[in-house]
Structure 1
């Protein structure tokens, strides 16, 4: 039981014992009136690691020094630049190194994976997703369904909360999967819902999908670096993510994928063939006939976009200095403290629509305003708080454990407490 207190001294005392507090100094914070902003928007774009500039300069120097020979002679050879990332990414998602690879961007990867894992037949063609998913997921699934000649209104099963509720009940998700039965080809859900911040039970969803004979995958955009996962042990079939949110890898930063070894090490698993996905020892023989590399690497299309991966390296270097569980332990307390303080406010008309159970959410809290939501958001911005506005009336905040502090959370509360809207 947390014995929280709504005062600055308590918040500072928690920062004094926080082993992650020094990590804050590894990031640049936007400024407001000469001070660090209260940055609660890491669920949209993470902060810049200070080491990124040094790493960019080093690659520019290697390019100038080596030209094309930098592919093999640079300090971090470009030919294999993405390979070390798999060690870090595997720890973050709970996978084997060969099951993950950094490549492309989120929606490109989602399409590539759906080409492999949404393989409808006349009897088994339906796909389950959550209603109100991020538009990119909606668009990708709709077009994949149409490409195979099916009507999205028939083939897509959208999971909606019960009347008067904002989040999905675990039992309703599992029932929908079971009810779809033999007609279900694929389940593809966002692991953490971007709007509500709900963290779904990936293990149970995967088991339920497999019981029907379906494939199961997840969009981890809001889960990567936010919540602990064990994708290999849970036998998740596939997943994809972006790196610019909790992974702090810059706007439009490189994405990544997970493919369970059951599929990744099976050469008969369908994948769109690309040069960089070909088996490395024969890649430069330039012969016809695609021979897939082992694991997730065989889904690669082209060589690594090095300058789009530099910030990713900077961030993963920081993740390597801690663990997902350490981040999660702080996040549970930091988010709970934020929730505690928000519940002290009585002059603003809002409710928290993110699940109250800690295991059903990550760092995000979504505040649904009955009125004046936009006014509150604009007022927060004017006071040096960077949060995220989502139509029609939600302010999303994310106290990120990597660089946010208990004092940040208290400052946010103080600003809200003194707002007159």
Structure 2
């Protein structure tokens, strides 16, 4: 892309963007003085699709009019409600419908997956994670190790970037797996790292780990709906995600889970069971013995929370309309444009810690300012006061994500201009 620092270039890019009309499908927060804010925080909470209120109100009306009969007699019966989400989620995950299910929240799903896929024994009790994993992942993993009677001080292997670097190298991850693989029970890494925005090479990591006999799972909170995934083809054992970031399903929305089809009929695989995971044909006969549904649905515990799942019925069709390939192409251009503007106008004041290789990142760039932590925080606060939504991570990182579903090239230009003013 031949890039200009003039605003007119961004305007022209938006005019030529076939996905630009999707922006009108979302509510953009307004500035205090009027006009759209600059919202670049979809990595934390996606914007509300305009169709959400309609879907939620319809479910409230079904509850009002039908009460318990809404499970069977509404226009979208609650009993199989989550099944409406399966096809779209499978496409985003690069999976077969059998392999995905919308259920619970991310960390709950992570614990459910570990109940089945972390089966430690003496000599092979370790879990591999990244040193700077999201705290919920760290807590969950350490608690699983303790629950199984091992010590996280010895059974938790944390991999860190090389000295002086901010992101992990795939060759270093694979080298550690090859070196320690015989004592690693489960590998648990992110699809996209929440702090740096680094996209992990899940295919290479999975291939390396499976050669060592390790079970492989991924946290896709920052990857689902952000980057293309092919979980089935990559032979991943399990994955979990939330839906309130790039999937735009709202705060506390229902999460999701992937379980590879080779585990679909593993009825003897240990798991924490609940009645919604029981065979559908006999579920309401209340048998005393649990018979799991084949596939990812067999890990369900309870009937789905309808009001937490409904927003996905407004959001997922937008992904179906756009297609992940087109969204990714726009994401690459938006992120490259953001990087180029930062380098051209503000390279003296900051550096981007997200990889420069487009294939090694999603749509998030993480920025470190050449200021003290207190001064950098003051810059962030100035951006917020000016109606710019991004976010701050201690001690010195500003995270920015131009999301292709609703962000524009003008959004990016306006952000860099606002950052330039805040730095002054």
* TM-score interval for Structure 1 and Structure 2 normalised by the shorter chain: over 0.9
Q: Residues 92-123 of structure 1, C-alpha deviation per residue, up to 9 Å, x if partnerless?
A: 01000010000000100000001110100112
Q: Residues 261-313 of structure 1, C-alpha deviation per residue, up to 9 Å, x if partnerless?
A: 11122212222111000000010011100001010000000001001111122
Matched, 1:4 2:7: no
* Equivalent residue number for residue 393 of structure 2: 390
Deviation at 1:376, TM superposition (A): 1.1
Query: Hey, what's the Cα distance between the residues in 2 that align with 1:7 and 1:271?
Result: 57
Q: Residues 249-269 of structure 1, C-alpha deviation per residue, up to 9 Å, x if partnerless?
A: 000110000000111222122
* Equivalent residue number for residue 327 of structure 1: 327
Matched, 1:307 2:307: yes
Query: Hey, what's the Cα distance between the residues in 2 that align with 1:406 and 1:157?
Result: 41
The answer as to whether partners of 1:127 and 1:186 remain within 8 angstroms in 2 is yes
Query: Hey, what's the Cα distance between the residues in 1 that align with 2:129 and 2:300?
Result: 25
RMSD of the TM alignment (CA)? 1.0
Counterparts of 1:11-410 in structure 2 under 5 Å?
11-32=10-31, 33-346=33-346, 349-371=349-371, 372-410=375-413
Q: Which runs of 5+ in 1 are unaligned?
A: none
Query: Hey, what's the Cα distance between the residues in 1 that align with 2:230 and 2:66?
Result: 41
Matched, 1:416 2:415: no
Query: Hey, what's the Cα distance between the residues in 2 that align with 1:420 and 1:146?
Result: 46
Query: Hey, what's the Cα distance between the residues in 2 that align with 1:352 and 1:329?
Result: 21
Residue 189 of structure 2 aligns to a residue whose secondary structure is strand
314-323 or 342-351: which moved more?
342-351
TM-score (norm 2): 0.98
The answer as to whether partners of 1:192 and 1:220 remain within 8 angstroms in 2 is yes
The answer as to whether partners of 1:117 and 1:186 remain within 8 angstroms in 2 is yes
Query: Hey, what's the Cα distance between the residues in 1 that align with 2:370 and 2:216?
Result: 37
Query: Hey, what's the Cα distance between the residues in 1 that align with 2:353 and 2:265?
Result: 41
Q: Residues 22-72 of structure 1, C-alpha deviation per residue, up to 9 Å, x if partnerless?
A: 000000011102111100000000000111111111111111111100101
259-268 or 134-143: which moved more?
259-268
Deviation at 1:347, TM superposition (A): 7.7
The answer as to whether partners of 1:353 and 1:368 remain within 8 angstroms in 2 is yes
Q: Residues 305-340 of structure 1, C-alpha deviation per residue, up to 9 Å, x if partnerless?
A: 001111122111211212111110000000000000
Query: Hey, what's the Cα distance between the residues in 1 that align with 2:253 and 2:348?
Result: 37
The answer as to whether partners of 1:370 and 1:393 remain within 8 angstroms in 2 is no
Deviation at 1:348, TM superposition (A): 5.9
Query: Hey, what's the Cα distance between the residues in 2 that align with 1:41 and 1:346?
Result: 21
Deviation at 1:420, TM superposition (A): 4.4
The answer as to whether partners of 1:103 and 1:304 remain within 8 angstroms in 2 is yes
Q: Residues 371-407 of structure 1, C-alpha deviation per residue, up to 9 Å, x if partnerless?
A: 1211111111111110010000100000000000001
Deviation at 1:349, TM superposition (A): 2.6
Number of residue equivalences: 420
Deviation at 1:359, TM superposition (A): 0.3
TM-score (norm 1): 0.98
Residue 231 of structure 2 aligns to a residue whose secondary structure is coil
Query: Hey, what's the Cα distance between the residues in 2 that align with 1:317 and 1:65?
Result: 27
Q: Which runs of 5+ in 2 are unaligned?
A: none
Query: Hey, what's the Cα distance between the residues in 1 that align with 2:273 and 2:28?
Result: 41
Query: Hey, what's the Cα distance between the residues in 2 that align with 1:34 and 1:5?
Result: 28
Deviation at 1:370, TM superposition (A): 3.0
Residue 232 of structure 1 aligns to a residue whose secondary structure is helix
Q: Residues 156-176 of structure 1, C-alpha deviation per residue, up to 9 Å, x if partnerless?
A: 110100000000011000001
